[in-house]
Amino acid sequence: MGKSQETVSKKEREKQRARKQQEKREKMQERKHNKEKGKSLNDMIAYLDENGNISANPPDPRKRRVFIQEEIQVSVPKQEHRQQVARRTGIVTYYNQVKGFGFINEDETKQRIFVHSSQLAEPVMENDRVQFEIENSHKGPSAIHLSKI
């Protein structure tokens, strides 16, 4: 008669497969007992308290604030009271006479603004106080109509 077709490694693989199947069945049974789905609606509802924090308990109706709908502003109001500053002041922090450009630190916003020699009414040096207007160029804000103070 021939040899048996069952080898030791085949038996080991079969045992391993059976053990995995058993673990899978146990996990399925455990999930059935501790299932999260099918909760009641009250268990799933979350509330916001008066401070804006999420809680499981409904907020106290006595602490409820009433808002008048007409007082709520949905859009951004126009800023008519704000004046447009025509001339700005600043200090030249860097100026390269050879290349013909420099930078100005604006007094109000401390923003660094590029300046080109073609926009100068008179020659400037570093640390000079200047007065200028701002133009938005394709590379960012640029100073125009520059003059010393």
Q: Which residues pair with 95 in a beta bridge?
A: 102
**DSSP letter, residue 120:** B
Tokens of 64: 């409820």
Across 9-18, 75-84, 91-100, least confident range: 75-84
Question: Per DSSP, what are the bridge partners of residue 89?
Answer: 131
pLDDT digits (tens, 9 = 90+) for 51-69: 889 998 888 888 878 889 8
Torsion angle (degrees, nearest 10) of CA 131, 135, 141, 147: -20
Model pTM score:
0.43
Q: What is the pLDDT of residues 1-41, one digit of tens each?
A: 567 788 899 999 999 999 999 999 999 999 888 776 667 77
Query: 99-108, long-range: CB within 8 Å, 24+ apart, which pairs?
Result: 102/126, 104/130, 104/132, 104/143, 104/146
